[in-house]
């Protein structure tokens, strides 16, 4: 009788909701999670390759042909290149979701038939089930305990890929005694005027607000999570630090960094500065109290493409990316390839992106910014040679 009575009491309690089952993950409840939004710089583009070589690609192939698969059979959105090396995956008991997409701008584009779909940080939705990154975040966050949303966006608003293409083309098609600079081409300079910067800052600011709206729609209050507005790293050193001379063909044919010194300086002083001023000002004027800035502008310094402190595997005597010390002797940015990317395994869209070591360096930065759930901003820099116990470059968040 006692057992029967207890069963009856438990049944009554469940019916009245007094003994509800354990709550599922949701806003403020369950396993903590990090979500990344944005473009190729955060999706993990070039994350397949650990260093550069003009020899056998297998020597730098860290992840193999499935590097960009984010489903068991391929990419959820072709060309987004959400690599397994992407910074989102900080581990240590934290779930991670990479919603970023290579080629993305603040607004969704490529929606017409035959175009490559690129979800922006908006609430786009169509009959094919395609969604903008803000809407995807909203739906994901409703059943996850999201502590940080990392946003890296804006480079494609300025047409960063077009800038790289023009600068390399001008180097290839002009002699050293009659240099044709990209930095004085009107269609390049017009992208970085004060008016254009103000316009793109507004676009990035609105994207951050849409992230906040998505989280509110998912049931969050601002105190339950942080938005990390992440700046872009410099992929190329200033001209004086490029290890190949301006004369001859080695700068591009060997190093994959065919730009004039003056254009390399302009890329750092104007282009990267504009991208990151946009990010910082967008965060500062967003009106969102839970936004922090994670500054990566100098995170790859000393390991950039063609920098005189590193080299190709064959230039530094490194057998492969797995060799001892490879992380400190080789580049963390993928070469700007032309003919060698036509038939694979390299892809043109990987050019000038942080590759495997660079992605893992950013992951280390993000884990420190996550800070055990007490999310903070800061400036991330390379701290020392070698790898951490997680197999990542040693970075410091200051």
Contact residues for 394 (Cβ-Cβ < 8 A; gap 6+): 364, 382, 383, 384, 385, 386, 387, 388
Which tokens hold the place of 234?
């410099």
What's the pLDDT score for residue 132?
98
What's the pLDDT score for residue 260?
98
What's the pLDDT score for residue 375?
98
Element (H, E) at 393: strand 393-397
Contact residues for 95 (Cβ-Cβ < 8 A; gap 6+): 31, 32, 33, 34, 144
Contact residues for 265 (Cβ-Cβ < 8 A; gap 6+): 238, 239
Tens of pLDDT along the chain (398 residues) come to 344 444 333 343 333 333 444 558 999 999 999 999 999 999 999 999 999 999 999 999 999 999 999 999 999 999 999 999 999 999 999 999 999 999 999 999 999 999 999 999 999 999 999 999 999 999 999 999 999 999 999 999 999 999 999 999 999 999 999 999 999 999 999 999 999 999 999 999 999 999 999 999 999 999 999 999 999 999 999 999 999 999 999 999 999 999 999 999 999 999 999 999 999 999 999 999 999 999 999 999 999 999 999 999 999 999 999 999 999 999 999 999 987 778 889 999 999 999 999 999 999 999 999 999 999 999 999 999 999 999 999 999 99
- Distance separating alpha carbons of residues 238 and 170, to the nearest angstrom: 17
- Distance separating alpha carbons of residues 232 and 130, to the nearest angstrom: 27
Among 148, 185, 204, 355, smallest CA distance to 270 is for 185
Which tokens hold the place of 220?
């969050």
- Distance separating alpha carbons of residues 187 and 166, to the nearest angstrom: 10
Q: Classify 230 as helix, strand or coil.
A: strand
What's the pLDDT score for residue 14?
37
- Distance separating alpha carbons of residues 159 and 58, to the nearest angstrom: 32
CA dihedral 383, 388, 393, 397 (to 10 degrees): -40
DSSP classification of residue 233: P
Q: Is 103 left (phi over 0), alpha (psi -120 to 50) or beta?
A: left
Rounded to two decimals, what is the model's pTM?
0.93
């Amino acid at each position: 009788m006692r057992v029967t009575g207890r069963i009856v009491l438990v049944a009554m309690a469940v019916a009245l909701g007094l003994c509800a089952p354990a709550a599922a993950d949701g806003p403020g409840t369950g396993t903590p999670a990090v979500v990344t939004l944005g473009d190729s710089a955060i999706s993990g583009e070039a994350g397949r390759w650990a260093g550069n070589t003009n020899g056998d690609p297998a020597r730098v192939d860290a992840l193999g042909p499935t590097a960009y698969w984010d489903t068991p059979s391929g990419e959820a959105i072709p060309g987004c290149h959400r690599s397994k090396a992407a910074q989102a995956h900080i581990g240590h008991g934290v779930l991670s979701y990479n919603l970023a997409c290579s080629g993305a701008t603040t607004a969704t584009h490529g929606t017409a038939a035959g175009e490559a779909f690129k979800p922006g940080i908006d609430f786009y939705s169509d009959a094919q089930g395609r969604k903008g990154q803000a809407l995807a975040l909203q739906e994901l966050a409703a059943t996850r305990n999201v502590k940080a949303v990392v946003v890296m966006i804006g480079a494609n608003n300025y047409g960063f890929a077009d800038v790289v293409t023009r600068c390399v083309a001008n180097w290839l098609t002009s002699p050293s005694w009659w240099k044709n600079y990209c930095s004085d081409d009107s269609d390049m300079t017009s992208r970085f005027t004060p008016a254009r910067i103000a316009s793109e800052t507004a676009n990035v600011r609105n994207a951050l607000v849409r992230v906040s709206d998505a989280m509110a729609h998912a049931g969050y209050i601002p105190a339950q999570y942080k938005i990390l507005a992440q700046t872009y790293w410099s992929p190329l050193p200033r001209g004086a630090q490029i290890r190949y001379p301006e004369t001859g063909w080695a700068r591009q044919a060997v190093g994959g960094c065919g730009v004039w010194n003056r254009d390399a300086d302009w890329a750092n002083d104007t282009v990267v500065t504009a991208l990151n001023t946009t990010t910082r000002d967008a965060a500062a004027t967003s009106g969102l109290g839970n936004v922090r800035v994670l500054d990566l502008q100098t995170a790859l310094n000393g390991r950039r493409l063609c920098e005189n402190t590193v080299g190709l595997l064959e230039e530094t005597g490194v057998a492969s990316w797995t060799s001892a010390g490879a992380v400190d002797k080789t580049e963390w940015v993928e070469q700007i390839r032309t003919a060698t990317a036509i038939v694979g395994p390299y892809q043109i869209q990987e050019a000038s992106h942080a590759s495997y070591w660079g992605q893992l360096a950013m992951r280390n930065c993000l884990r420190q910014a996550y800070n055990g759930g007490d999310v903070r901003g800061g400036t991330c820099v390379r701290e020392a040679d070698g790898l951490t116990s997680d197999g990542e470059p040693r970075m410091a968040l200051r």
